[in-house]
Amino acid sequence: MTRSRWIRPGLALLLVALLATLATQWFRKHFESYEITHRTGEKPAARANPLLAAERFLRAIDVTVAPAPDLLSRRYHLPERGLLILDTGRDVLGTHGQQRLLEWVRAGGQLAIEAPASLPRSLADPILQALEVEAESINGIDDDKMRRLTHEAFGLAIDFDPDRVMHTERKDMEEQFGDDNGYHVLRFGVGAGAITLFSDLHWLRNDSIGRYDHARLLYRFVRNAEASTVLLLHRIRAPSLAQRLLRAIPLTLATLALAVGLLLARVTRRFGPLLPAGRGDRRQLLEHIEASGYYLWAEGFSSTLLEAARARVRRKLYQLWPELEKTPPAEQITRLAEITRLPGESIESALFTRARTQRESFTRQIRQLEKLRKRL
Interacting residues of 334 by C-beta distance below 8 A, sequence separation 6+: 344
Indicate whether 152 pLDDT > 60: no
Interacting residues of 163 by C-beta distance below 8 A, sequence separation 6+: 137, 138, 139, 141, 146
Q: How far apart are CA 114 and CA 90, in angstroms?
A: 9
pLDDT tens-digit series, residues 54-82: 888 888 888 888 877 776 666 777 888 88
Indicate whether 198 pLDDT > 70: yes
Q: How far apart are CA 128 and CA 122, in angstroms?
A: 7
Domain extents in the chain: 44-235, 289-375
What is the CATH architecture of 44-235? 3-Layer(aba) Sandwich (3.40)
Q: What letter does residue 174 receive in the DSSP assignment?
A: S
What does pTM read for this prediction?
Answer: 0.53
Phi, psi of 345 (to 5 degrees): -65, -40
Interacting residues of 312 by C-beta distance below 8 A, sequence separation 6+: 373
- β-strands 65-67, 182-190 pairing: unpaired
Q: Which of 147-151, 231-235, 264-268, 272-276 has the lowest mean pLDDT?
A: 147-151
